[in-house]
Structure 1
Amino acid sequence: MSNLMGKATALLNKFKAQARPQFDEFMRYAKVELTPPTPADFQHLRKTAKKAKKDVKGTRSRLGRVTVAEAWLNTLVTIEVITWFFMGEVIGRRHFVGYKV
Structure 2
Amino acid sequence: MALMKLATTWERFILKDLTKFGRYAKVELTPPSPGELGQVVKGAGGFVKDALTFKWAQATVKEATVNTIVIAEIACWFFIGECIGKGSLVGYQV
TM-score normalised by structure 2 residue count? 0.52
Query: Once the two structures are superposed, what CA deviation does each residue of 1:27-46 show, in whole Å capped at 9, x if it has no partner?
Result: 22022123344xxx112312
Matched position secondary structure for 1:22: helix
Amino acid aligned to 2:51: T
**Count of residue pairs the alignment pairs up:** 86
Name stretches of at least 5 consecutive residues in structure 1 with no aligned partner: 1-5, 67-72
Instruction: State the percentage of identical aligned residues.
Output: 28
Q: Partner residue of 1:35?
A: 30
Are 1:58 and 2:53 matched, yes or no?
no
TM-score normalised by structure 1 residue count? 0.49
Name stretches of at least 5 consecutive residues in structure 2 with no aligned partner: 59-64
Amino acid aligned to 1:34: L
> How far is the alpha carbon of 1:61 from its aligned partner?
1.6
- Mapping of residues 13-92 of structure 1, within 5 Å: 13-37=8-32, 41-62=33-54, 84=76, 88=80, 92=84
Work out which of the two has the higher radius of gyration on C-alpha atoms and give 1 or 2. 1
Amino acid aligned to 2:9: K
Over the aligned positions, Cα root-mean-square deviation in angstroms equals 4.2
Matched position secondary structure for 2:25: helix
